[in-house]
Amino acid sequence: MKKKSFWLISLLLVFSMFLAACNSGNETSGNEKDGDKDEANTGEPVEGGNVTVAVTSAPEGVLEPAYYGSAIDAEILNFMTDGIYSVNDELEYEPDLATWEISDDKLTYTFKFKEGVKWHNGEELTAEDYQFALETMADPEYTGPRFNYVEGIKGAKEKKDGKAETIEGIELVDKYTIAITFESVKINNLENLWSYPMPKKHYEGVAIAELGESEQVRQTPVGLGAFKVKSVKAGEYVELEKFVDYYKGEPKLDGVVVKVIDPAVANGALQNGEVDIMGVAPAQVEELETMEHITVEETKGVGYSYIGLRFGHRDQETRTNVDDFDKFKSKELRHALIHALDRQAMIDAFLSGKGTVSNTVIPSTFWIAAEESELNQYEYDPEKAKELLAEAGYKDVDGDGFVEDPEGEPFSISFGHYAGNATFEGRSQAIIQSWNDIGVKTELATGSLVEFNLYNDMKDKDDEALEAFFGSWSTGSDPDPSGLWANNAEWNYGRWVNEDNQRLLDEGLSEKAFDKEYRKEVYVEWQKLINEELPGIPLWENLDLYGINKRLQGVHINAVGYNETNTHEWYVTE
């Protein structure tokens, strides 16, 4: 989605370990590497035409922004939805469906929607549609995962807890104007505010508790974007057709098909023209670069991969994370686990070198990223890992080659990884073997890789099998890491709770943080905390890779994706 912050959009590894992103303003007019372009495709645009976008996992089929939980659904939604604002190549927020003014006390944002914007069902967009979205997401019966995008509004928590019928901080000024008042001043109140209206009339008669599973969401969705849903074949494809009344202008293409394909045949599908554009795995790149009609785009984005460690569980009633799982309480143990991993070797082996070792969970794309000189580097050193284990009391008492815990009890780790392309099995086994080699008995959770959507569900529900788990995040355009790492963040899947962690995250959003230099100082201090405490094990920053048929032109790629801004301008030359 255009607001991809913390997705869950989940783990953006469906596309190749993955994470959609890119550097400023590249267009797919030629094969681009290291800033050089080959001769551009000079074919003339043809009228209409259709393109096929390939994805390598089945969508869940939730085609309403407030409810989706899958990266694949997000790919589809990007073609059919627009929001209040969009993100430019400098990761700055710009008006899209609405403009806004901020009050002198920085608490109230007044949004003015464009007039004449049409939903796919022909209804006009109004401020009431936006009010409906915000009120729905704060409703006690709301079943989606994004209450965090409205909880900062004054009165939203009271409604969520059933203490109020409406959100106090929302005022419908007129047909196209709405004022939102926040509980407190934060520098990223705008970025953290939900930006997608809901088609109120389309959802009339549907109970909020049933909305996410309704036909209106899964079979006949309505959006504001350049393309509207024509047909859905569950688990196979979604066919979209152009929306001629799109407010930015009639799309040049007739339609787009988002199609599920087996990763094993992805290159062949690009080669024979069955697919026009897709995120690709690093192992695919060398072969794709030999195909004259295929462009490979390679850029650094806003994503990273890590290993999560379980510290507790989430109390869904109180929406808090509870720190009650002690397996990884020892910092020396956590340090030993990262020293045991040859992260560069894994990048070379499983990412074809398309990644950079990272010691922080802030992508280097962001201006708040700490310098490497300020962080522990955690070089690959299995002997140091063994020393750290021994110092912390993890010793092989019974002589079986594996350590017991400091109380002399058997110690082991259940490690989870999701299924996907062929490299995932090797990568998971490399991590498991690395920990076994230092005497930390590690086994694959459930005995096999887990289907991607089921894996996400296991994390959501704090499945006991996932004591440690591989994951990736695309952070979106806002550098604030609170949505993933705050003490009570829903997507803090390790359920790590730390007083200094929350203090620094709060400080990074405070009124003082309107001073950019101060805000960076705070976030650098926060990164040092994460780097020292290792509530999760940072692995690498991913390069975002796309294979694109040169017949498809006009695709604009920036740091938050390839289909985020201008799909109505895509066209084909044959």
Query: pLDDT of 131-145, one tens digit each?
Result: 999 999 999 999 998
Residue 258 forms part of a structural domain: no
Is the same domain home to 309 and 456? Answer: yes
What percentage of the chain exceeds 90 in pLDDT?
A: 74
Task: Kindly provide the residue ranges of all beta strands, DSSP E only, lying in 280-411, ordered along the sequence.
Answer: 294-309, 313-315, 320-322, 355-357
Q: Is the pLDDT of residue 413 over 90?
A: yes
User: Alpha-carbon distance 424 to 349, whole Å?
Assistant: 11
- CB-count burial class (<10 Å; 0-12, 13-18, 19+) for 559: buried
Q: Is the pLDDT of residue 433 over 50?
A: yes
Spell out the residues 6+ positions from residue 342 whose beta carbon is closer than 8 angstroms to its own. 380, 434
Give residue 503's pLDDT.
Answer: 97
Secondary element (H or E) of residue 108? strand 108-113
Residue 96 forms part of a structural domain: yes
Give residue 282's pLDDT.
Answer: 85
Q: Is the pLDDT of residue 564 over 80?
A: no
Residue 550 forms part of a structural domain: no
Count CB atoms within 10 A of the CB of residue 171.
15
Spell out the residues 6+ positions from residue 316 whose beta carbon is closer than 8 angstroms to its own. none
- Residue type present at position 181: T
**Domain interval for residue 124:** 83-215
Read out DSSP for 200-267? TTTTTT--HHHHTTSHHHHTS---SSSEEEEEEETTTEEEEEE-TT-TT---SSSEEEEEE--GGGHH
Q: Is the pLDDT of residue 30 over 50?
A: no
Is the same domain home to 198 and 317? Answer: no
Give residue 2's pLDDT.
Answer: 45
User: Alpha-carbon distance 522 to 149, whole Å?
Assistant: 23
Give residue 9's pLDDT.
Answer: 35
* Candidate from 17-31, 147-161, 263-277, 382-396 with smallest mean pLDDT: 17-31
- Name the H helices within 361-486: 382-391, 423-437, 452-460, 482-485
Is the same domain home to 345 and 200? Answer: no
Residue 337 forms part of a structural domain: yes
Q: Is the pLDDT of residue 186 over 80?
A: yes
Is the same domain home to 389 and 494? Answer: yes
Give residue 47's pLDDT.
Answer: 87
Spell out the residues 6+ positions from residue 155 whose beta carbon is closer than 8 angstroms to its own. 164, 166, 167, 168, 169, 170
Q: What is the mean pLDDT of residues 334-351?
A: 96
pLDDT band of 12, cuts 50, 70, 90 = very low
Last residue of a domain, one of 215, 245, 273: 215
Give residue 181's pLDDT.
Answer: 98
Is the same domain home to 401 and 526? Answer: yes
Give residue 495's pLDDT.
Answer: 98
* Candidate from 11-20, 221-230, 522-531 with smallest mean pLDDT: 11-20
Q: What is the mean pLDDT of residues 157-185?
A: 97
Domain CATH code at residue 399: 3.10.105.10
What percentage of the chain exceeds 70 in pLDDT?
A: 92
Residue 273 forms part of a structural domain: no
Q: Is the pLDDT of residue 161 over 80?
A: yes
Q: What is the mean pLDDT of residues 458-465?
A: 96
pLDDT band of 543, cuts 50, 70, 90 = confident
pLDDT band of 489, cuts 50, 70, 90 = very high
Q: What is the mean pLDDT of residues 74-95?
A: 89
Q: Average pLDDT over the chain, rounded to whole?
A: 89
Q: Which of 436-440, 509-513, 555-559 has the highest mean pLDDT?
A: 436-440
For the segment 104-123, what is each residue's pLDDT rounded down to a tens digit?
999 999 999 999 999 999 99
Q: Is the pLDDT of residue 542 over 90?
A: no
Give residue 232's pLDDT.
Answer: 93
Last residue of a domain, one of 215, 241, 265: 215
Give residue 14's pLDDT.
Answer: 34
> Domain total for the chain?
2
For the segment 435-454, what is each residue's pLDDT rounded down to a tens digit?
999 999 999 999 999 998 89
Is the same domain home to 363 and 470? Answer: yes
Q: What is the mean pLDDT of residues 252-269?
A: 92
Q: Is the pLDDT of residue 69 over 70?
A: yes
Residue of 376, 556, 366, 569 lying closest to 477 (CA atoms): 366
The backbone torsions φ and ψ at residue 269, rounded to the nearest 5 degrees and listed phi first, read -65, -40
Provide the β-strand partners of residue 538: 306
Q: Is the pLDDT of residue 127 over 60?
A: yes
Last residue of a domain, one of 215, 240, 259: 215
Residue 296 forms part of a structural domain: no
Is the same domain home to 349 and 498? Answer: yes
Is the same domain home to 502 and 404? Answer: yes
Alpha-carbon distances of 410 from 246, 295, 310, 334, 398, rounded to whole Å: 62, 52, 18, 17, 9
Q: Is the pLDDT of residue 29 over 50?
A: no
Residue 403 forms part of a structural domain: yes
Is the same domain home to 342 and 490? Answer: yes
Sign of CA dihedral 227, 230, 234, 236: negative
Is the same domain home to 356 and 483? Answer: yes
Give residue 44's pLDDT.
Answer: 81
Give residue 7's pLDDT.
Answer: 34
Spell out the residues 6+ positions from residue 546 whose beta carbon is closer than 8 angstroms to its own. 22, 28, 277, 278, 279, 280, 296, 297, 557, 562
* Candidate from 387-391, 410-414, 501-505, 555-559 with smallest mean pLDDT: 555-559
Q: Is the pLDDT of residue 128 over 90?
A: yes
Residue 77 forms part of a structural domain: no
Alpha-carbon distances of 42 from 38, 160, 191, 551, 570, rounded to whole Å: 12, 55, 39, 10, 15
pLDDT band of 550, cuts 50, 70, 90 = very high
Domain CATH code at residue 90: 3.90.76.10
Give residue 498's pLDDT.
Answer: 97
Q: What is the mean pLDDT of residues 239-260?
A: 97
Is the same domain home to 162 and 307? Answer: no
Q: What is the 3-state secondary structure (H, E, C) of 312-335?
A: CEEECCCCEEECCCCCCCCHHHHH
Q: Are 110 and 101 contacting, i.e. CB atoms less than 8 angstroms apart? A: yes
